[in-house]
Structure 1
């Protein structure tokens, strides 16, 4: 160990030797209580991230708080409170908060920086805020403001119903540095104050469809980089033609759920001004579109306004997009590194793989299959090896009803690739030939399977997936032998 290391650096090295977080907290508590050298840095680590509020509340002394010369007990409490940077408030803390409420209110009113002056991350579970919507705010809802502060950057609320306007209001006036917010839904009236979150960079609001007025308010936030929302059923876009050049100016990552119609996605993409969008994830819900409507062409063409797009995901197991894959517009996304299409109606056009390779030379992860359409012929793996020799992940559906052709493949690659092919139908009499064929094309391949199913479950439920596991073992043995 280097002699120039600081005490806190030595402590960090000691704690890293304990992989489990509980063991690290236990060791920090032991060092804080028994070792004078490590007492202060170990206490900092011990109090930095609290899984509950109760340990801190237990430190509140019985005597009244007095300024400017608090007692030794109060100085100890304030020192511990200043160490807290991350806090989870649970329902089991509610009784303690009620018991200490007069003291907490006094302390909050006399402090310029709040009870927890250095708190950065706060998570409030539904058991503290209440499970059911109420006509009046619950007492615990009203206690929420006690733990807010000017340095708070991340807030996660497990419950925020349509009547919880006061929760969002308290965040708006108390947390000017808030950068991350996770709420199940925005309450009624939140659109009036949403622009107060001028520092907000990330938002998760996934459960009910978001109100259009709230979404429009979010569109004007200057720092919003990541947005995850569920669209309304009758979505027609936000803003007007005159205001769209000011909307979503910094957006980099967009996750959209509950897209009932491709036109809804089209309206939203039109509203995005940011040229730096690099990740788009869309979940289609009961959406059906065909080439004749023109919507598919318009929607995918809209993607070309985001030349820095690196990851594109479109999912929807009950949705259909009747179009050849890959769509022509995708070929213009030259920085694309990952593509995922899991929808019905796709026609797998293997002759377009060469075009895709030329248009997207950085592609490393590829997922595309349609459960209601025939898969690619098995020989398409040779095309993948030829056109995407550096591919790292391939998830698709193959037509393996026929045995592979005899003879060496036309292309192969030594790049280690992860394959997921278990949705492909595989006959009992062909699996050994398929395994040998794959090991020739991808001699260093590994396989990925659904983690929810093990082999014992598959013996009686899914013989096809079981055969693919046999293929994986054969390919792994061939890879080990070749090494």
Structure 2
């Protein structure tokens, strides 16, 4: 008579037999039903996890969530893609076996996302992870390539500093990409950050959130903060000192740069003369606050740079300033490389602006950017037709054009003067245009003339977004647009409201139910008209003589 075995012993024997015979598929099926076992039974399964590890790749977060509190110590998903630190669970003291298992699993992680939270349980998890690292002489994430550290966004704890020194276990020499999306509340957190970055000798990508307060600054020397500063290929950082800007201008391998200019000093001519010119820079975004002149001076550091994507955001753009920006681009950027240009005026008040003139941009004497495909101008000066038509000399090959503010309340002084019938002139100025977003006046749409309709049929416009008064958003407007632009595939209408000088988001569902109904009519008319037009073409083709 055989000796009676417990459930744990039977389960252990089954695991041993299946693993030795190579029946990994059967063992995986058995592991999926492990929720029925508790306590020692799951401990037996843990003894075999290292043997059947590859079987659990598609089961992230499922096998490891047991009801028994002491069933497991810590788990990392085995996928080689993103690993969120919320998957970590600590429920009992660590043993040498646990540390070995954790090292094996953590060494497979390539991309790790850490979300800092102000919850006590989260800091307990982070403290235990730091405690585990103190007992070992090897890094947990030995093959980590990208680390993203995010701050939990909440207004309840805005002024509570975090103890960032607990992030030590995530330092590894193999890291290439560091994204530090954290609000620096004081210089103590900046000091930790500089010490933390020095642990990555192979860093190629450094992205840091711009500090919230002006008295929080980074060290004057970026070279001392980053060991391989000269090898960086992507940087997102704030600049407070002239020395920091000089260090950026010496980066010869930089391909993507997002910079926030926060200092009040000017950029002297000798710095512009010594600039390396960013020979490999392809993507540039400049945020200058109220210092538009510094933005222009920074663009003067370029030397026939092959920029492909450029974004400029300040709060002091004027018509003369925009003309100065275009002139700087023609002198310092390779005109054959620029494809996307974004200019935004993020001012909160619009009072005191100079009056509009007929042609504020003065583009007739500038060299055109013939490869420019996308132009986004979110500025309060584009409200008449003539300045828009003058842009055709600067960017004749545009396919996407966005003008004005969408979803914001602006003063009545900047109410658009572009009539909906004048959209045809814009499409004729940019013959390759396929997407257009613009505020218009649609108070009295009229039927297009035969000559105008024939010209509009030659356009390639397929996507149109118009911002207009809610009382003008009717089915007649949609009918006019469908007839005027037969190739239209997408029509979007949003409200343009003239009110206080401070822009704000507009919730039309709560504030204007009539606008909601009118907007639904516009979206409903377009597919109906397209089907009717297709049927007419089909009948005309069938009735045509052979």
- Bin the TM-score by the shorter chain: 0.7 to 0.9
Aligned partner of 1:336 among 344, 364, 372: 372
Question: Which deviates more from structure 2 when the two are superposed, residues 344-353 or residues 158-167?
Answer: 344-353
In structure 2, relative to structure 1, the CA distance for the partners of 1:390 and 1:246 (3 Å cut) is closer
1:21-79 per-residue CA deviation (whole Å, 9 max, x = no partner) reads xxxxxxxxxxx97995951755896353321166276798413xxxxxxxx54432221
Matches within 5 A, 1:86-165: 86-89=111-114, 90-91=116-117, 92-99=121-128, 101-107=130-136, 110-111=137-138, 114-126=139-151, 132=159, 140-157=163-180, 158-160=182-184, 161-163=186-188, 164-165=190-191
Alpha-carbon separation, structure 2, partners of 1:122 and 1:439: 49
Alpha-carbon separation, structure 2, partners of 1:325 and 1:447: 30
Aligned partner of 1:366 among 401, 412, 419: 401
Mapped contact 2:50–2:101 kept (Cα < 8 A): no
In structure 2, relative to structure 1, the CA distance for the partners of 1:450 and 1:149 (3 Å cut) is farther
Matches within 5 A, 1:149-228: 149-157=172-180, 158-160=182-184, 161-163=186-188, 164-185=190-211, 187-189=217-219, 191-192=221-222, 193-194=224-225, 196=227, 197-205=229-237, 210-228=240-258
Secondary structure of the residue that 2:231 maps to in structure 1?
A: coil
Aligned partner of 2:530 among 475, 479, 482: 479
Q: Does 1:50 align with 2:103?
A: no
Q: Does 1:265 align with 2:280?
A: no
Alpha-carbon separation, structure 2, partners of 1:198 and 1:58: 44
Mapped contact 1:60–1:74 kept (Cα < 8 A): no
Q: Does 1:382 align with 2:427?
A: no
In structure 2, relative to structure 1, the CA distance for the partners of 1:213 and 1:476 (3 Å cut) is farther
In structure 2, relative to structure 1, the CA distance for the partners of 1:466 and 1:268 (3 Å cut) is farther
Secondary structure of the residue that 1:332 maps to in structure 2?
A: coil
Secondary structure of the residue that 1:335 maps to in structure 2?
A: coil
1:398-456 per-residue CA deviation (whole Å, 9 max, x = no partner) reads 2333332553324224746221112x33655x944433321112222422355987764
Tell me by how many angstroms 1:253 deviates.
Answer: 1.7
Q: Note the residue ranges of structure 1 that are not aligned, 5 or more in a row.
A: 1-31, 64-71
In structure 2, relative to structure 1, the CA distance for the partners of 1:33 and 1:459 (3 Å cut) is farther
- Using structure 2 for the length normalisation, give the TM-score: 0.66
Alpha-carbon separation, structure 1, partners of 2:237 and 2:369: 28
Aligned partner of 1:440 among 483, 505, 509: 483
Question: 2:39 maps to what in 1?
Answer: none
Question: 1:315 maps to what in 2?
Answer: 344
Question: Which deviates more from structure 2 when the two are superposed, residues 33-42 or residues 187-196?
Answer: 33-42
In structure 2, relative to structure 1, the CA distance for the partners of 1:345 and 1:275 (3 Å cut) is same
Cα-Cα RMSD: 3.9
1:364-416 per-residue CA deviation (whole Å, 9 max, x = no partner) reads 11012376154223222222343434422111122333332553324224746
Secondary structure of the residue that 1:174 maps to in structure 2?
A: coil
In structure 2, relative to structure 1, the CA distance for the partners of 1:39 and 1:188 (3 Å cut) is same
Question: 1:76 maps to what in 2?
Answer: 101
Mapped contact 1:122–1:154 kept (Cα < 8 A): yes
Mapped contact 1:210–1:229 kept (Cα < 8 A): no
Question: 1:16 maps to what in 2?
Answer: none
Question: 1:282 maps to what in 2?
Answer: 312
Question: 1:245 maps to what in 2?
Answer: 275
Question: Which deviates more from structure 2 when the two are superposed, residues 81-90 or residues 183-192?
Answer: 183-192
Alpha-carbon separation, structure 2, partners of 1:59 and 1:86: 26
Mapped contact 1:395–1:421 kept (Cα < 8 A): yes
Secondary structure of the residue that 2:147 maps to in structure 1?
A: strand
Mapped contact 2:403–2:437 kept (Cα < 8 A): yes
Mapped contact 1:251–1:274 kept (Cα < 8 A): no
Say which one has the larger Rg: 2
Aligned partner of 1:470 among 521, 533, 544: 521
Question: 1:28 maps to what in 2?
Answer: none
Secondary structure of the residue that 1:276 maps to in structure 2?
A: coil
- Using structure 1 for the length normalisation, give the TM-score: 0.74
Question: 1:459 maps to what in 2?
Answer: 512
